[in-house]
A and B are shown apart, each in its own frame.
Chain A
């Protein structure tokens, strides 16, 4: 079953990646990146069990934290850029 789960996760990662390429809006890309990150966490956890090396879980733990920080950073940047655009348009 671990093998099946690994293959499924790989397929899902590829699908999320193609959504990140296609877009069309920037939010689609962020969504895809978020899904990709979660799947990476799961993949590392599952692969750790598959290869009998459960100490891989430390890395999965790091991803679970880092992924969230990355998504928040992206969102804040977009908000900042839009507010910035609006304020410069008002100034004109």
Chain B
């Protein structure tokens, strides 16, 4: 059964990838890439990688198509220049692909007990995380505590990304007091859609909080929660216009929050250092090391969630503001 699932999901994945490459309609390509996200999350589920599937669901199938739609609204739906048959490019891609396939031959088989991944640190994580960290979801223990420094790096990358986007599009960020003639962005004729979405926005936010704070016990955590929270705000903005959203959300506060999350994460590490342990060693946060781990993980997950949510919203608002600027000029 599992083999059948894997084979059919992976063959659909290949078909989708070919479809994306062939399609000249960018809208169809983005849509297929969202299906691609759904499919890959599906086989992550069959491989028992529930947390990865969760991330793929919220990021790959959720927020990235939304951001790409916003991009398409600015650049248009079709490729402006005709496809060129570039033989060197094809050659290069085939060569790289062949080398990658060659490299997979050296990778140990999936689930091989003698693979290095299974013999070095994994036994420690599996056997000791229950007593050392004391939370049921082992993935969260590894992500937030054992590998806390890596996750810190990831959050910094997310923050750096928004700094880059704002450097390019920051001037079109909608300010609180500015007049926003965005009839284009308001769906005032979609009454049913507006009402249903209004009902849904609050449960989506609530679900984001559940994902945020339930990450210790089940799949989830700061990254996924931040994305889901931002998605709720984005759907509100899509249907009620930017001006209505600006009444709820202050862009300046969002900028501060994006930095605050990273700082919160880093300051947990500093507190641990001040208490005489290593950077991001949560044992130092409380008298009982397991309690310290709990506090540390909750605080850093919160930092991750705040940063990711603020960054996603900022990027979307920058795109939407750009759209308004553009329709204003023309």
Contacts and interface: CB of A to CB of B under 8 A. Distances in A.
Range class of the B interface residue count: 35 or more
B42 A72 contact: no
Interface in B17-63: 19, 25, 27-28, 31-32, 34-35, 38-39, 41-42, 45-46, 48, 50, 53-54, 57-58, 61-62
A63 B61 contact: yes
A29 B231 contact: no
A74 B211 CA distance: 26
B239 A77 contact: no
Interface in B308-330: 323, 327, 330
B187 interface: yes
A33 B31 contact: yes
A69 B45 contact: no
Contacts of B200: 65, 68
A33 B35 contact: yes
Nearest to B8: A10
Contacts of B204: 65
B57 A66 contact: yes
A55 B27 contact: no
- Chain A contact patch, size range: 35 or more
Given A47-B45, A62-B228, A70-B62, A6 B35 contact: no
B235 interface: yes
Interface stretch (B72-80, B86-94, B102-110, B285-293): B72-80
- Which residue, A7, A33, A76, has most C-beta atoms of chain B within 10 A? A76
B31 A74 contact: yes
B295 interface: no
Given A17-B12, A62-B58, A84-B327, A72 B235 contact: yes
B72 A59 contact: no
Interface in B214-229: 218-220, 224, 228
The residue in A48, A50, A77 that gathers the most chain B C-beta atoms within 10 A of its C-beta is A77
B45 A17 contact: no
Given A56-B45, A66-B58, A76-B238, A20 B184 contact: no
B235 A6 contact: no
B16 interface: yes
B155 interface: no
Nearest to B183: A83
A83 B327 CA distance: 11
A72 B193 contact: yes
A87 B8 CA distance: 45
Contacts of A3: 1
Contacts of B65: 70, 73-74
B185 interface: yes
28 contacts: A3-B1, A10-B4, A13-B12, A17-B35, A20-B28, A21-B15, A33-B31, A37-B38, A40-B38, A40-B39, A43-B42, A44-B42, A47-B45, A47-B46, A58-B50, A58-B54, A58-B218, A59-B45, A62-B207, A63-B61, A65-B200, A68-B200, A69-B235, A70-B65, A70-B66, A72-B193, A72-B235, A76-B238
Interface of A: 3, 6-7, 10, 13-14, 17, 20-21, 23, 26, 29-30, 33, 36-37, 40, 43-44, 47-48, 50-51, 53, 55-56, 58-59, 61-63, 65-70, 72-74, 76-81, 83-84, 87-88, 91
Given A6-B1, A10-B4, A58-B219, 15 more contacts: A6-B5, A20-B19, A33-B34, A40-B42, A58-B50, A58-B54, A65-B200, A69-B66, A70-B61, A70-B62, A73-B238, A76-B69, A76-B187, A77-B69, A84-B184
